[in-house]
Amino acid sequence: MEWILKYEKFRKFRENDDYPQVICIGDDKAVDIVREAIRQVVRIHRPYGIKHFHIGADEAFEYGTCAASKKKEEELGSSDEVAVHHMTKIASYVKEVTKGATVLVWHDMLRNFASSDVKMRNLRALVEPVVWDYSEQLLAADKQWLTWKCLDFLLSSMADNFGKVWASSAFKGADFPSAKFLRYQHYQKNNIEWILRQR
């Protein structure tokens, strides 16, 4: 959403005015912008067939902070419930406009949601999580918050809640925003780690 929310015209739709990464998920007009962006992407890609559609939801740490989201939180009970509700609406919309594409979503926000929230909103039937890790040692303790043993737990808990889980490596662009050159050895190691992990 950052490429839309960075413009002054759309600033009022930010979840937090200081950060253009997250749209105010409690604001129906803001959510209409998301739907319009999805509609445009679908229109362009429909002639080629759409089997999968990734809705993102990566590192949306600011959700639940705008006035509309706080009001929605009072109605639904928690900011996580607001996020699950939003994700359910967006995933349902994608299913509708793509005529049934598999909806993918990054895992990092999903892992914080209670299983009861996911089940209550039937999110399991709508999305398949994509677990990402771009390090040379998958989810290694020195680089991130997990160890190999915890990766097994993460994948199995995601599978329990969602049935099918995807894994995501990287081949470029996951270093930092201003990177000019590809560290191909790093990404080669990352891809090999994921390949070895599937065995």
Q: Which CATH architecture has domain 1-131?
A: Alpha-Beta Barrel (3.20)
**Given this model, what pLDDT does residue 143 score?**
46
In single-letter form, the type of residue at position 72 comes to K
Say yes or no to pLDDT of 147 above 60: no
Extended strands (E) in 17-101: 19-23, 52-54
**Given this model, what pLDDT does residue 177 score?**
65
Say yes or no to pLDDT of 15 above 90: yes
Rg (CA), the chain: 18
pLDDT digits (tens, 9 = 90+) for 123-139: 889 999 998 877 777 76
Encoding tokens for residue 194? 């994921």
CATH 3.20.20.80 domain position(s) in the chain: 1-131
pLDDT mean over 98-102: 97
- Report the distance separating Cα 157 and Cα 177, nearest Å: 31
**pTM for this entry:** 0.85
Give which of 100, 95, 149, 159 is closest to 129, Cα–Cα: 159
Q: From edge to edge, which strands make up the β-sheet containing 52-54? A: 52-54, 102-106, 127-132, 166-168
pLDDT mean over 157-162: 82
